[in-house]
Amino acid sequence: MLAASLQLAGHRPVAVSGVSDASRRRAALMLPDVPLVPPAEVLQRADLVLLTVPDDTLPGLVEGLAETGAVRPGQLLVHTSGRYGAKVLDPALRAGALPLALHPAMTFTGSAVDVQRLAGCSFGVTAPDELRLAAEALVIEMGGEPEWIAEENRPLYHTALALGANHLVTLVAQSMELLRAAGVEAPDRMLGPLLGAALDNALRSGDGALTGPVARGDAGTVAAHVAELRAHAPQTVAGYLAMARATADRALARGLLKPELAEDLLGVLADGAPGTPGTPGPQGTEGDAG
């Protein structure tokens, strides 16, 4: 996908590699006229190499390429991992390569629409100071916005993105399942405007956008929610309680939740936690529904 974007910017892809069937299909879709070759051959042909592999695979791949002599001096070697900065490319650096870390802060589908999503997308950029301009220029060529991330901050940066994007998918999927169980025929249509407004408000106002029963201190409503989840979706109770406690803490700190209401609310959240004395557990208890 990044190679296809760079191709639109005037670069000429000379080779692509893929191990899984899915990656080979993506290569055929995004770069139909580019030959599919082994990784070492890609490095032989290209002056700019993109390493778009899973985070856990990256260190071993870099070490293997460096040990086999595939890396050439002066070659730009770019990885797209969010977790790692440029240091993971040290084996290639010792072989003379120029290391860049360019991570697009975006979720992708593996289809042609992904190239369009790069327009205006922020990239987490990490590179040696002397390569900073080159790294930022590549991002700009792809239509992205470079955001400099220090090497030591890469793990925190990636954690933040995963916390927001990955957990959002889980929360939305759970919400849609519950709405279907409640008889809503088109939960996506119901949630779309609500979640769009909530996201926009959160990006604009942060904790000031908090609304709902937790922020208001409606302990009875929250208790009813926990009871419904125990009856219809017990696997979601732990997540609901954790998010509700985090929301209550932030609402208290912001002054949105009145302290006199917080005590009853936090009591409900504590009583609702699995394993609390006197509280039914999530399985094998009276009133539970699987």
**Which range, of 78-87, 134-143, 192-201, 269-278, averages the lowest pLDDT?**
269-278
Fold of 2-149: Rossmann fold (3.40.50)
How distant, in Å, are the alpha carbons of 188, 196, 213, 247 from that of 192?
Answer: 6, 6, 20, 22
Q: SS3 sequence, 169-212?
A: HHHHHHHHHHHHHCCCCCHHHHHHHHHHHHHHHHHHHHHHHCCC
pTM: 0.86
Percent of the chain at pLDDT > 90 equals: 83
275 has pLDDT over 60: no
Distance of CA 267 to the CA centre of its chain: 33
For residue range 104-153, what is the model confidence (pLDDT) as tens digits? 999 887 777 888 889 999 999 999 999 999 999 999 999 999 999 999 99
Question: What pLDDT does residue 281 have?
Answer: 38
Question: What pLDDT does residue 284 have?
Answer: 34
Question: How many Å apart are CA 100 and CA 149, to the nearest integer?
Answer: 12
175 has pLDDT over 60: yes
Q: What is the mean pLDDT of residues 254-262?
A: 94
The pLDDT mean for the chain works out to 91
Residue 279 structure tokens = 């509280």
Question: How many Å apart are CA 204 and CA 13, to the nearest integer?
Answer: 40
Long-range contact pairs involving 275-280 (C-beta distance under 8 Å, separation at least 24):
280/230
Confidence band for 26, pLDDT divided at 50, 70 and 90: confident
Question: What pLDDT does residue 289 have?
Answer: 30
Question: What pLDDT does residue 278 have?
Answer: 38
Question: What pLDDT does residue 114 have?
Answer: 83
Q: What is the mean pLDDT of residues 91-113?
A: 91
Confidence band for 274, pLDDT divided at 50, 70 and 90: low
Question: How many Å apart are CA 287 and CA 38, to the nearest integer?
Answer: 58
How distant, in Å, are the alpha carbons of 141, 225, 229, 282 from that of 232?
Answer: 50, 11, 5, 11
Which segment, 31-35, 79-83, 270-274, is predicted with the most confidence on average? 79-83
Percent of the chain at pLDDT > 70 equals: 94
For residue range 238-254, what is the model confidence (pLDDT) as tens digits? 999 999 999 999 999 99
DSSP letter assigned to residue 35 = P
Question: What pLDDT does residue 276 have?
Answer: 45
Q: Decide: 48 and 76 in contact? Cβ < 8 Å.
A: yes
Confidence band for 286, pLDDT divided at 50, 70 and 90: very low
Collect all residues with Cβ–Cβ distance below 8 Å to 75 and sequence separation of at least 6: 43, 46, 47, 48, 49, 96, 97, 98
Question: What pLDDT does residue 19 have?
Answer: 84
Question: What pLDDT does residue 277 have?
Answer: 41
Question: How many Å apart are CA 239 and CA 208, to the nearest integer?
Answer: 22
